[in-house]
Amino acid sequence: MTALAEKLMPKNWSSQLRFFIIIAVSVIFFDQVSKYQAVAHLTRAFEIPTGTAELGFVEKVDIFLTLRHPVRAEAVSVVDNFWHFRYVENPGAAWGFLSGAASWFRTPFFLIVSLAAMAFIIVYYRRTTPEQRYLRLALALVLGGAIGNFLDRVRLSYVIDFIDWHWYDKATWPTFNVADSAITVGVTIMVLDMLLAGKAAPKEKTTAKAKGST
């Protein structure tokens, strides 16, 4: 997929811009593929009556893209009492924010916020310098994750989550997906990059003063 993406990009694009786009597109790809697998294995969306012809790949993709609220199947245990794959529909944001709001308000609100966030990321990227490689990587991860969840909201009005982490029945982390993971990693890299840049600035000033006094 990386080789294909590189071939489709204009040759006059910088290597870092190519890298930015490849990372963002890869996140979107793996996010949507993992959600397809979640629908395939954690719901009954692809089940057919006995004696009926098996669904083809194109038919399954069509169901994945258009079917809302498929019947859930049993969760799949990866590590008992710690990690399960469980199909969940999240109409809100992280931690269920606005999940109880009316759909006429909630869906347009999240679509507008997502578009604004994606526009901000692109503008922010254009203001970064080639030396800010980690920041650009972080922005690519966040952009890919934002687009991945945005696609869910456009076609379904909710986001598909399926990764369920918990500590027995005592503590449960909100169910999430690949897009959420990319956003979380991206934001973490951004924070670390800002902290390290903040620590480096005083050292550079001290070095410059020392040189100026000699």
Among residues 31, 152, 164, 180, the one annotated as catalytic is 180
Name which of 74, 45, 38, 75 is nearest 59 in CA terms. 45
First-last CA distance in the chain? 55
Going by C-alpha positions, the residue among 5, 20, 14 that lies closest to residue 135 is 20
Tell me the two tokens of residue 11.
Answer: 């040759």
Q: Which amino acid is at 85?
A: F
- Taking alpha carbons only, the member of 52, 36, 44 closest to residue 152 is 36
| 180 in active site | yes
Which is catalytic among the residues 161, 164, 169, 193?
A: 161
CB 173 within 8 A of CB 86: no
CB atoms within 10 A of CB 158: 21
Question: Is-catalytic flag, 80?
Answer: no
Residue numbers annotated as active site: 161, 180
